[in-house]
Amino acid sequence: MLKTKNNNQVHLDGVSLQKISEMYGTPCYVYSKNSLINDFEEYKKAFKSKKDILICYSVKACSNINILKIFNNLGSGFDIVSLGELERLKHIGADPNKIVFSGVAKSDEEIRASLEYGILLFNVESIAELENINNIAKKMDTKANISIRVNPDIDPKTHPYISTGLKSSKFGIAIDQAVDVYEYANKMKNVIPIGIDAHIGSQIFDIVPFVDSLDKLIELYSKLKDKNINIKFIDMGGGLGIKYSDEDNPPSKKEFASKIIDRIKNLDCNLILEPGRSLVGNSGYLLTSVLYEKQNYDKDFLIVDAGMNDLLRPSLYDAYHKIEEVNKTSGERKKYNVVGPICETGDILAKDVELPPLVKNDLLIIHSVGAYGYVMSSNYNTRPKAPEVLIEDEKIILIRKKETITQIMENEFNNE
Residues annotated as part of the active site: 343
**Which 3 state secondary structure label does DSSP give 174?**
strand
H-helix or E-strand containing 132? helix 127-139
33/206 Cα distance (integer angstroms): 28
**Which 3 state secondary structure label does DSSP give 3?**
strand
**Which 3 state secondary structure label does DSSP give 409?**
helix
Sheet containing strand 10-12, edge to edge, reads 2-4, 10-12, 15-16
Q: What is the DSSP string of 35-100?
A: HHHHHHHHHHHHTTT-SSEEEEEEGGG---HHHHHHHHHTT-EEEE-SHHHHHHHHHHT--GGGEE
383/56 Cα distance (integer angstroms): 33
H-helix or E-strand containing 101? strand 99-101
336 within 8 A of 317, measured Cβ to Cβ: no
Residues found in the chain = 416
341/107 Cα distance (integer angstroms): 37
How are beta strands 15-16 and 191-197 bridged, if at all?
unpaired
One-letter amino acid of 5: K
60 within 8 A of 371, measured Cβ to Cβ: no
331/334 Cα distance (integer angstroms): 10
372 within 8 A of 249, measured Cβ to Cβ: no
234 within 8 A of 271, measured Cβ to Cβ: yes
Cα separations in angstroms, 140 against 90, 133, 143, 144, 312: 20, 11, 8, 10, 41
Cα separations in angstroms, 91 against 48, 112, 135: 29, 17, 28
Buried b (16+ CB within 10 A) or exposed e, 305-340: bbbbbbbbbbbeeebbbebebbbeeeeeeeebbbbb
